């Protein structure tokens, strides 16, 4: 799984052919709703290079079911924005046994594999529901971790009120919708989508409101970004927080 992760990342770097050294200007922001412009000013993207990839290190904790104990994890992620790709590799301990997970989102096709002890698959999910779910995840990453990419022309915007917008993001034949909520300072405080399937039970996927409330901001290489957030399913019976993510390090426009 680690070899697959590194191999796919290497392929992503080979496909980078444009975008280097292009600077974000006022013209790039002029089509955005006012509150999104304020957010991008807050995180300090104007006058900086356009973002065509990112590398992120995480830590946090996850669980598959509400009754399960939390598993601490460490993870690495590469995302490529000119050819939408998300590669997420996770290492955790499940009841003292090593667990690894690999998410791949590439060419609008997504897969998720989780193994115990590097040998036994406990999760292996792919298909249309997974493709749409990971498109939501990919856009969520753009909003929270790579806000400079919100100038993308594949996003259309609708104003809900002074502090909230609705975004429609299209990647080839898939369009997903999310609502973004901000405070008066311009900080993004929550992301909610109704298009992300809950695939914790692949035999019976559910589709519930999915949110990632932001808990903290931090400076990374001159950008002020969300650094801590939860991942929550709002299921009919009760809300289920299945993940807590803390960004340890983030870099943009990596060359290798």
Identify whether the C-beta of residue 177 lies closer than 8 Å to the C-beta of residue 166: yes
Mean pLDDT over all residues of the chain?
93
Angle (nearest 5°) at CA 84 between 81 and 86:
95
| Over residues 219-223, mean pLDDT | 94
Note the pLDDT tens digit of each residue in 106-163. Answer: 999 999 999 987 778 878 899 999 999 999 999 999 999 999 999 999 999 999 999 9
Residue 225: which pLDDT band, with cuts at 50, 70 and 90?
Answer: very high
Interatomic CA distance for residues 234 and 50, integer angstroms = 34
Going by pLDDT thresholds of 50, 70 and 90, the confidence category of residue 55 is very high
Residue 62 and residue 245: Cα distance in Å, rounded? 9
CA angle (216 as vertex; 141, 197 as ends), nearest 5: 35
Q: Are 116 and 175 in contact (CB under 8 A)?
A: no
Write out pLDDT tens, residues 171-209: 999 999 999 999 999 999 999 999 999 987 767 788 999
pLDDT score, position 221: 92
Q: What is the pLDDT of residue 20?
A: 65
HSE-up (13 A, CA, CB side) for residue 217 = 17
pLDDT in tens, 20-50: 678 999 999 999 999 999 999 999 999 999 9
Coil, helix or strand at residue 143 = helix
């Amino acid at each position: 799984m680690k070899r697959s992760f590194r191999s796919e990342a290497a392929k992503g770097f080979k496909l980078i052919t444009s975008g280097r050294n292009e600077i974000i200007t006022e013209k790039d922001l002029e089509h955005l709703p006012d509150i999104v412009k304020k957010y991008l000013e807050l995180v300090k993207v104007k006058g900086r290079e356009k973002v065509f990839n990112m590398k992120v290190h995480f830590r946090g904790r996850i669980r598959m079911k509400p009754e399960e104990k939390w598993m601490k994890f460490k993870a690495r992620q590469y995302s490529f924005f000119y050819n939408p790709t998300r590669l997420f590799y996770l290492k955790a301990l499940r009841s003292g046994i090593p667990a690894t997970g690999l998410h791949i989102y590439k060419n609008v096709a997504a897969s998720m594999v989780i193994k115990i002890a590097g040998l036994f698959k406990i999760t292996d999910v792919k298909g249309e529901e997974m493709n749409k779910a990971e498109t939501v995840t990919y856009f969520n990453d753009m909003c929270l971790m790579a806000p400079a990419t919100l100038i993308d022309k594949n996003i259309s915007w609708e104003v809900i009120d002074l502090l909230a917008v609705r975004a429609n993001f299209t990647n080839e034949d898939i369009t997903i919708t999310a609502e973004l909520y901000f405070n008066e300072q311009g900080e993004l405080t929550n992301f909610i989508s109704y298009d992300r399937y809950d695939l914790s039970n692949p035999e019976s996927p559910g589709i519930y409101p999915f949110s990632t409330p932001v808990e903290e901001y931090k400076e990374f290489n001159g950008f002020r970004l969300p650094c801590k957030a939860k991942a929550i399913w709002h299921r009919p019976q009760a809300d289920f927080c299945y993940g807590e993510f803390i960004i340890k390090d983030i870099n943009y426009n990596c060359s290798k």
